[in-house]
Structure 1
Amino acid sequence: MIHLDARMYFSCLSSQKASYDFLTACYKRRNIEDADALAYSNAQAFLHYNTQGLDLYEQGIRLPQSMKPLLYFYGAAHLVKGCLLTVCPGYPEQTSQLAHGVSARKRKKRDFVFLQDEVKIQHQGLFPCLAEYLFGISQFTELKIPMADLIAAIPEMITLLARQKGSTLAAVGNVQSKQIILPEAMCDGHHATWQTLLRRIASGLPKIQHYNQTSNGLEVLLEEVPSCMNNIGFFTAGNGTIYTGLVKNTTSGMSEMMIHYLLLYNLSMLSRYETEWWGDLLSLREDLDYQAISIYLDTAALKFPLLAAAWLNAMENGKNPGAAKRRD
């Protein structure tokens, strides 16, 4: 699944007939009444969300770095809305769901540092819909999410962070293996026993067959390979390596799709409304903020469409655990 090409996958849904068939199958699998009629009425919107989302990413790749966050964020929002239509045929059910669902600090200090910034999750809007309808998360223990936590949860940022104060991610497995090995340090970092940790991470993995404590940590054997890239609390690099956080923080209960949405939202706001700071960042290129943002934008350009395609592919095959948890 990690090698899935996003453009190729979405090209298979690039006609109204293909979109209709896809939605019909999704609705019937979830036993939604009037599946055929709802799929017919949503097919065109589903097609346009996907097409426009990918187009925004492809245009963003060609544009100067100063404009990338804006196109990437709205590309992500379009792809999220396409995913939502597969599990919530009435979306948007109210106008409040059209809001971003997250807010940023209104006033920046003179010595503003991106990695010290944070965003606040709102109770209504697109982000809460993304969390609940796609991943079964209806409540958050923390509403204010630091940028440092979000950046640290992206596997492609490990090399940069390791040169600074170290990465908080640990490699625990691969998408082609049924076994994951949780390091001993996780118990201390999460202030929990193995039994408590297993309960917390169970929703982010296929069913656990059995586990065994060793000198290396906890060896966990799954009933099937964790092929979906959108596991809660687990993050997948481009080479298929699966990572999880050694330390419990505000991203521990999130999927990578959710994390990218929050990062892209804040970066899009900075590029639009903090013009002087944004311009200095891109022209001077002199601190960790620039390095982190530059590497992250290159990652997000390729990875968010891949995450959306992976989510739809899992949904198509009836293997998405988050969508199955939706509270109707």
Structure 2
Amino acid sequence: MRDLEWKELALFYSVESSQKFLDKVYTKRGIEEPKRYAFKNSERFIFFIKHAESFYKQASLSPLEIKPILLFYGMSQLLKACLITTDPSYPSHASVLAHGVTARKRKKQNYCFREDEVKVQRNGLCIHVMKQLFGMSGLEEERYTMKKLLTAIPELRSVFYFQERKHWITKVELNDNLISVPEPAVIHYNMSDSRFAEYMNHHLNWSFLKKDKNRLIFHIDQKDSQPWSSPNLLYHLEKNEYYIPAQRDQFLHLPEIIIHYLVLYNVGMIARYETEWWYELLTQHVSDDYVIIRQFLEITERKFPYYVFNFLEQFL
């Protein structure tokens, strides 16, 4: 695991510092009685992060067989720390305590992880995070396949290309709030330049500025220019590169934090309850699912704490 993010998150391991931080956040958000809530939540805020660190550090030392379970519980604790900054009364009722996701019943024969899907529940942690952290609504009962979620993680680009000889995402350039989309990307969308510009404006709220040589330049809002919050841009942490889906029907309009939560929930459920399939995959390497799951776990172990610190850092 990357120690850097945990060193930065450990800056909050002081009641005095956390109290000041939460007071600042609540004041900025216009929450009534910010000092009272900051005093009430400062220790809880620290405990959520410390508990998450314990899960992640144990996961880094653990075999692959149980790693998804530890990572998922660590991820959940980090999300609860983030929720305290937006919902000072969290948890205000029991319905927000469940995971908020369900996986479909699996068939014992010919099961393929990439074709499996999860569904967002009407209540629980998932939908509460969507609403409180990202202002998203209307996604209750929404279903997502593992493949559609995983192809939106740029670090898995080379894995999918190796297995399928197909690129699912296309590199773009980000400078401040300006996105530069290469002409080949427009061609893959089977659109003219004007139609592409209109499509991006309507579906992503990107404002077309001009065409410069073989690139289309758009202005995007602040939310889209931050990797942790963008529902449209895909960010490669190691390469510091940005991507968009290679096809228009591949847009999920989900921040990557939610994508990781949905995938890791499903992998964790498999590790807990589908023991026979799970051990066959890990010991016999019978399908490409093994490589995808293994690499995803390596990526989320590094990337999720990075995104959480980025979320908290915006208030510093």
- Which TM-score applies when normalising by structure 1? 0.86
Partner of 2:167: 167
Match of 2:26 in 1: 27
Q: Structure 2 matches for 1:106-185, cutoff 5 A?
A: 106-140=105-139, 143-165=142-164, 166-174=166-174, 177-182=176-181, 183-185=185-187
| 2:82 maps to amino acid | C
The reply to whether residue 281 of structure 1 matches residue 275 of structure 2 is no
**Quick check: 1:19–1:47 contact (8 Å CA) kept in 2?**
yes
Letter in 2 for 1:79: L
Aligned to 1:260: 260
Letter aligned with residue 282 of structure 2: L
State the distance in 1 between where 2:251 and 2:74 align: 22
Q: After superposition, what is the alpha-carbon deviation per residue over 1:259-311, rounded to whole angstroms, capped at 9, x for unaligned?
A: 00001000000000000000000001132100100111111111111111111
Measure the CA separation in 1 of the matches of 2:189 and 2:211.
12
Q: Which residue pairs with 1:198 in the alignment?
A: 201
CA RMSD, 1 decimal: 2.3
What residue number does 1:320 align with? none
Corresponding residue number in structure 2 for 1:303: 303
TM-score (norm 2): 0.90
SS of the equivalent of 2:102 reads strand
> What do residues 72-116 of structure 1 show as CA deviations (whole Å, max 9, x unaligned)?
111111000100110111111110100101001133331111001
Shift of the 149–35 alpha-carbon distance from structure 1 to 2, 3 Å rule, reads same
How far apart, in 1, do the equivalents of 2:203 and 2:87 lie?
26
Please list the CA deviations of residues 99-134 of structure 1 after superposition, one character each: whole Å capped at 9, or x if unmatched: 101001133331111001000110110000111111
Match of 2:233 in 1: 234
Deviation at 1:249? 4.3
CA distance in 1, matches of 2:161, 2:132: 35
Retained in 2: the 8 A contact 1:4–1:310?
no
Partners of 2:3 and 2:67 lie apart in 1 by 24
Question: Retained in 2: the 8 A contact 1:142–1:250?
Answer: no
Unmatched tracts of structure 1, length 5 or more: 318-328
2:34 and 2:87 mapped to 1: Cα distance? 11
Q: Which residue of 2 aligns with 1:326?
A: none
Distance change in 2, residues 1:223/1:155 (3 Å): closer
Task: Return the offset for 1:173.
Answer: 1.9
How far did 1:222 drift? Answer: 5.5
2-side partners of 1:24 and 1:298: how far apart?
A: 35
In the alignment, the residues of structure 1 paired with residue 131 and residue 161 of structure 2 have an alpha-carbon distance, to the nearest angstrom, of 33
Higher-RCO chain (CA-CA 8 Å, sequence separation at least 6): 1
* Counterpart AA for 1:90: S
**SS of residue matched to 1:111:** coil
Deviations 1:12-41 (A, max 9, x none): 101111111111110000111010001111
Secondary structure of 1:181's counterpart equals strand
Shift of 1:63: 0.2
**Which residue in the other structure is 1:77 paired with?**
76
CA shift for structure 1 position 10: 0.7
Deviates more, 1:11-20 or 1:219-228: 219-228
- The aligned residue for residue 66 of structure 2 is 67
Letter matched to residue 155 of structure 2? E
| Equivalent residue number for residue 216 of structure 2 | 218
Q: CA deviation at 1:227?
A: 4.4
Q: What is the alpha-carbon distance in structure 2 between the residues aligned to residue 251 and residue 50 of structure 1? A: 31
Instruction: Quote the Cα distance in structure 1 between the aligned partners of 2:61 and 2:251.
Output: 31
- State how far apart, in whole Å, the 2-side matches of 1:256 and 1:186 are: 23
CA deviations 1:220-262 (Å, max 9, x no partner) are 2568793443311112112210112122447521000000000
Q: Is the 8 A contact 2:127 2:140 kept in 1?
A: no
1:52-76 deviations in Å (ceiling 9; x for gaps):
1122111101100001100111111
Distance, in Å, in 1 between the alignment partners of 2:122 and 2:139 is: 10
Evaluate the alpha carbon distance shift between residue 91 and residue 154 of structure 1 in structure 2; reply closer, same or farther with a 3 A threshold. Answer: same
